[in-house]
Structure 1
Amino acid sequence: MMYIGCHLSSSAGFFAMGETALSIGANVFQFFTRNPRGGAAKPFDKADAVKLVALLEENRFGPILAHAPYTLNACAADDGLRQYAIDVMKDDLFRMDHFPGAMYNFHPGSHVKQGAEVGIELIAKALNEILNPAQKTTVLLETMAGKGSEVGRTFEELRAILDRVELSDKLGVCLDTCHVFDGGYDIVNDLDGVLEKFDKVIGLKRLKAIHLNDSKNPMGSHKDRHEVLGGGFIGQEALLRVVKHPLLKELPFYLETPNELPGYAAEVALVRKAVAAVNK
């Protein structure tokens, strides 16, 4: 089954997000656990969560994906900022365990002049404190574009984090098409080669989700500015090859393109049409 959806606002509640996803033809969705620029989360509404779970099961949804706030930095130089990231992620994972099969995505962090190796060590240390054997939610490290001092700009940096985490079976990777393209991986002309390298360095079994986005900037720009499908330097043809690729087509795809709901609905329909044409 093709799983395609987009990023939705969580302000109206869990069940409302499920209804919105259905209204645009989506069968997965992503949302922020709290304000993406920081702040406390709303009180957890367990009854609303139960309603969403029933809706997801009834409509055969794929895994919902929660996105951590952008403000989290698990490798900050400041002890207080690192502890804040740990506390938020622990709280978020408690909430997400109410949703069977859910995933939780986060940007690994920025080392801010400490160096990538120090950043990797601090991220792994934080994850070793956050993860617990009983948790059900899979935590995803996101591939990054490499702007500033971001950690996770290469597959090797993500692998280095995975190797240092004790409960690494609780971890996976979310591949963002804009980010890897901006990071210098040529998914336009050599998608097979990029996937081969991912498999060699990280292992395709770790790849759990894909953020499907075009890029406003050329390959290797390290900018991280998303564009609508077909409106950027990756292009619609290359992005649809990602969706249709035999090694990727069973994964859930989450749009983070700069769209309102009508735009997302059009992109969901575009992706479904491309996949249907292959499956005829």
Structure 2
Amino acid sequence: MRIGAHVRQDTDPLGTAHRLGADIIQMFVTDPQDWKKPETHPQAAALRESGIDVVVHSSYRINVASLNNRLRMPSRKAVVDQAAAAAELGAVGLVVHGGHLRDGEDAALGYENWRKLFERQADKGGFPVPILIENTAGGDHAMARTLDEIARLWDAVGDFDTAGFCLDTCHAWAGGEELLGLVERIQAITGRIDLLHLNNSRDDFDSGRDRHANLESGHIDPDVLIAVLEAAGAPAILETPAEGIAADLDYLRAARG
């Protein structure tokens, strides 16, 4: 099981990975608040040859499900562009949030938009890396907050080879899903968990708030987080506050013996 962290010093992700002793790192390939097309990363070759796994997190603005053409169309293009950039890094996948609709919009159309993303790319040979759809924390019109919503999304995209799933523990907690037994409930829907975002939460259960905490300082029992890690058996990325990530990694190593 490979364990690592999201690296915020994107100019030197490899150096950060070495300092943390990480087996896997997550990084952005472009400004997460922008639509700018990624450029080739100066460490691309070194990352491919490093033996450290890389996963790319897509831009936050992406909302594949949206019924608004001005948001959905650039979102599709951004997923394609960022998947290509991820492939240049030798990444194991591209994490994309499930997205959401606006009040009064038909959720069925949002799930169909997710399917169209994969269908359109399949006609062009498919994505070069798996697209790891991540559960989200809040929103009354989210595509992937509850298990029922995840099931509807998976009914739309689960038959594509490049569709994968990323489970975020903080998001699940904030979204009102009990963590004990969650891995098994997710796997019953998707058949897989490709990546785990192992995060504690600064807020109470079912808060709908996406605010991460370090592993021993949030509202989730750290023993429960370790149980999720062991049950998932997937590579784990910490997205916890930067000042505590090294201690979080030490805690995980000690907890796992």
Match for residue 209 of structure 2 among 202, 220, 223: 223
| 2:95 paired residue among 102, 105, 114 | 105
**Residue from 96, 115, 119 that aligns with 1:124:** 115
Of residues 178, 192, 199, the one that matches 1:186 is: 178
Secondary structure at 1:140 match in 2: strand
- What TM-score comes out, normalization by structure 2 length? 0.91
In structure 1, the partner of 2:134 is 142
Aligned partner of 2:71 among 81, 89, 96? 81
Distance in 2, Cα, partners of 1:175 & 1:42: 25
Identity over aligned pairs, percent: 28
Which amino acid is 2:4 matched to? G
Residue in structure 1 matched with residue 161 of structure 2 by the alignment: 169
Between the aligned partners of 1:231 and 1:35, the Cα distance in structure 2 is: 29
| CA distance, structure 2, for counterparts of residue 198 and residue 11 of structure 1 | 31
Task: Give the secondary structure class of the aligned counterpart of 2:110.
Answer: helix
Deviations 1:149-184 (A, max 9, x none): 221012332232233238611111100000111111
How far the C-alpha of 1:29 sits from its partner, in A, is 0.7
Instruction: Report the Cα offset of residue 103 of structure 1.
Output: 0.7
Is the Cα–Cα contact under 8 Å of residues 162 and 168 in structure 1 kept in the other structure? no
In structure 2, distance between residues paired with 1:199 and 1:153? 15
Match of 1:212 in 2: 198
CA contact (8 A) 1:128 1:165 kept: no
- Distance in structure 2 (CA, Å) of the matches to 1:241 and 1:224: 21
Counterpart of 1:197? 185
| 3-state DSSP of counterpart to 1:126 | helix
Aligned to 1:31: 27
* Structure 1: segments with no counterpart, 5+ residues: none
Q: Secondary structure at the match of 2:167?
A: strand
Q: Is the 8 A contact 2:143 2:153 kept in 1?
A: no
What is the aligned counterpart of 1:52 among 37, 47, 50? 47
* TM-score after normalising by structure 1: 0.84
Deviation at 1:80, TM superposition (A): 2.1
* Cα-to-partner distance string for 1:53-76 (whole Å, 9 max, x where unaligned): 1112xxxx3x31101111111122
Q: Is the 8 A contact 1:175 1:210 kept in 2?
A: yes
Tell me which amino acid in the other structure corresponds to 1:235. Answer: D
**In structure 2, do the counterparts of structure 1 residues 48 and 199 end up closer, same or farther at CA, with 3 Å as the change threshold?**
closer
Shift of 1:240: 2.0
Q: Secondary structure at the match of 2:5?
A: strand
CA shift in 2, pair 1:10/1:84, >3 Å: farther
Q: CA deviation at 1:42?
A: 4.5
Are 2:145 and 2:175, in contact at CA under 8 Å, matched by a contact in 1?
yes
Compared with structure 1, are the counterparts of its residues 97 and 272 closer, same or farther at alpha carbon in structure 2 (3 Å cutoff)? same
In structure 1, the residue corresponding to 2:43 is in which secondary structure? helix
Does 1:115 pair with 2:99?
Answer: no
Report how many residues are paired.
Answer: 255
Change (3 A) 1:167 1:136: farther
Unaligned runs of at least 5 residues, structure 2:
none
SS in 2 for 1:85: helix
Counterpart for residue 14 of structure 2? 18
CA-based RMSD:
2.0
